Amino acid sequence: MAWRCWARAAGPRPHRLALLLLQPRRGFRRARPRPEEPPAAAAEARPVPPPRRSLCPPSPTAAAGRPSPRRLLKPLLFAVGFTGSAFGSAAIWQYESLKSRVQTYFEEARADWMDRMRPQKRGDFRKQVNSWWNNLTEGQRTVTGIIAANVFVFCLWRLPGMRRIMFTYFTSNPSSRALCSPMLLSTFSHFSLFHMAANMYVLWSFSSSIVSLLGCEQFIAVYLSAGVISTFVSYVAKMATGRFEPSLGASGAIMTVLAAVCTKMPEAKLAIILLPMFTFTAGSALKAIIAFDTAGLALGWRLFDHAAHLGGALFGMWYVTYGHELIWKNREPLVKAWHEMRTKNTGKGGGGRSN
């Protein structure tokens, strides 16, 4: 049903690429007439909905009428404001992390010394978990929280009482009652287990490269902003085409990660897992993905949300080429203001305690 490509990069540290172009169109199962009713009467009594696809939940009946394009103003302001807040918070987070790193160094050294002094327990589950965690790369540790959030939201979809809330706030649609919060929440929403597993596999596979490229704090800001921006691009495309279909999934944000890595390392060799003898460069793979989604958007293919994929890919390409210099390199005034405010508050608190 869904096109997918499983690949890995050739080299000492291969990348494994698994793309799931998601966000299928909504639908219902065709209603069957009751045994006591004639087929013709049942057809007249009930409208015949389109068939339902397993990757997307059944949606409530859409409201009649086409929404006004002015509804895009609020999502636009939300996308701009959220992106600025995400990068501002990431800059402050990085400042606090660097400041606390020296303070925690001695505490960690003392904890390691005490662990060596304690008698070791064989089969200690906590020790095994810590060993597994310490063997992960920084990127893998960073995306663990994102994966856990996706698993939690997936479990919420399984609760029948939560279905209407999940559809309202965890699927994005410009004709929906909720416009802004689904732009972020739908990035963590998956209705199908296969859908979620494939997307999280892609994120896990490329986590080491993207975090080593951007750093933990900057990556989180880029990932969250990419989810909101790609959803806004999807809103624009749906308003332009008049196809108001709900979307969900992390594809837009993951496309940003893929595009950023492929743009920064275009000569990296990729290979399909089942066909390892055929290799291609990351730059060629990115061009093929963009061409596929562009054709899908131009030809009106409705299986995937091609606009969201394109929005995420273009944002990833733009950020590693220009956005990093324009946004992240100019965070110094904000960090300086935060440092001065924090130092001033610390001084006041210290003076109060000394008296």
For residue 247, the 8-state DSSP code is B
Count CB-CB contacts under 10 A for residue 54: 13
For residue 26, the 8-state DSSP code is P
The full DSSP string for 52-89 is PPTTSPPPPPPPSSPPPGGGGHHHHHHHHHHHHHHHHH
309 is catalytic: yes
Number of helical H runs and strand E runs in the chain:
13, 4
The answer to whether residues 238 and 245 touch, using CB atoms and an 8 Å cutoff, is yes
The answer to whether residues 169 and 182 touch, using CB atoms and an 8 Å cutoff, is yes
Q: Which of 190, 205, 251, 306 is catalytic?
A: 251
The span from the CA of 179 to the CA of 61, in Å, is 17
Q: What are the structure tokens assigned to 132, written together?
A: 């597994």
225 is catalytic: no
The span from the CA of 152 to the CA of 265, in Å, is 33
CA distances from 311 to 26, 227, 232, 254, 348 (A): 21, 9, 8, 11, 47
For residue 136, the 8-state DSSP code is S
The answer to whether residues 22 and 43 touch, using CB atoms and an 8 Å cutoff, is no
Residue showing tokens 């590693």 = 320
The span from the CA of 86 to the CA of 225, in Å, is 7
CA distances from 180 to 34, 46, 174, 233, 235 (A): 41, 33, 9, 13, 11
Q: Which of 309, 324, 339, 354 is catalytic?
A: 309
Active site residues: 251, 309
